[in-house]
Amino acid sequence: MKKIFLFGFIALVACSNPKQNEEAVQTSTNDNAEQTTIKDSVILEGEKHFKTLRQLTFGGDNAEAYWSFDDSKLVFQVTNPNWNLECDQIFYFDWQNDNLAENKPMMVSTGLGRTTCSYFLPGDTTIVYASTHLADKACPPVPERRADGKYVWPIYPSFDIFITDLEGNIKKQLTDEPGYDAEATVSPKGDKIVFTSMRTGDLELFTCDLDGGNVKQITNELGYDGGAFFSPDGSKLIFRSSRPKTEEEIKEYKDLLAEGLVKPTDMELYICNADGSDLRQLTDLGQANWCPFFHPSGEKVIFASNHASKRGFPFNLYMINTDGTGLEQITQDETFDAFPVFSNNGKYLVFSSNRFNGGTRETNLFVAEWQD
Q: What angle do CA 177, 257, 127 make, to 5 degrees?
A: 45
| Per-residue confidence in pLDDT tens, the chain, 372 aa | 544 445 444 333 322 333 333 333 333 333 433 444 444 456 999 999 999 999 999 999 999 999 999 999 999 999 998 999 989 999 999 999 999 999 999 999 999 999 999 999 999 999 999 999 999 999 999 988 888 888 899 999 999 999 999 999 999 999 999 999 999 999 999 999 999 999 999 999 999 999 999 999 999 999 999 999 999 999 999 999 999 999 999 999 999 999 999 998 899 999 999 999 999 999 999 999 999 999 999 999 999 999 999 888 899 999 999 999 999 999 999 999 999 999 999 999 999 999 989 888 899 999 999 999
DSSP character at residue 96: T
HSE-CB of 301 using CA atoms within 13 angstroms: 30
Contacts of 106 (CB under 8 A, 6+ apart): 91, 92, 93, 166, 168
Q: How far apart are CA 175 and CA 213, in angstroms?
A: 10
DSSP 10-47: HHHHTT--PPPPTT-EEEE-TT--EEEEPPTT---TT-
Closest CA to 242 of 267, 216, 205: 267
Q: Return the pLDDT at 139.
A: 96
Other CB atoms within 10 A of residue 320 CB: 22
HSE-CB of 97 using CA atoms within 13 angstroms: 4
Q: Return the pLDDT at 220.
A: 97
Q: How far apart are CA 270 and CA 236, in angstroms?
A: 11
Q: Return the pLDDT at 31.
A: 40
Provide, for the chain, the percentages of residues in helix, strand and coil under a 3-state DSSP scheme, each rounded to the nearest 5: 5, 40, 55
Strand partners, 182: 196
- Given a contact cutoff of 8 angstroms between Cβ atoms, the answer to whether 365 and 57 are in contact is yes
Q: How far apart are CA 305 and CA 310, in angstroms?
A: 12
- Given a contact cutoff of 8 angstroms between Cβ atoms, the answer to whether 20 and 334 are in contact is no
Q: How far apart are CA 214 and CA 8, in angstroms?
A: 36
- Strand arrangement of the beta sheet that strand 337-342 belongs to: 50-55, 364-370, 348-353, 337-342
Closest CA to 211 of 173, 259, 250: 173
Closest CA to 364 of 74, 127, 68, 15: 74
Q: Return the pLDDT at 30.
A: 39
Closest CA to 227 of 268, 167, 169: 268
Q: How far apart are CA 242 and CA 69, in angstroms?
A: 30
- According to CATH, the superfamily of the domain at 2-370 is TolB, C-terminal domain (2.120.10.30)
Provide the b/e sequence for 223-251 (b: ≥16 CB within 10 Å): bbbbbbbbbbebebbbbbbbbbeeeebee
Rg for the chain, CA atoms, rounded: 19
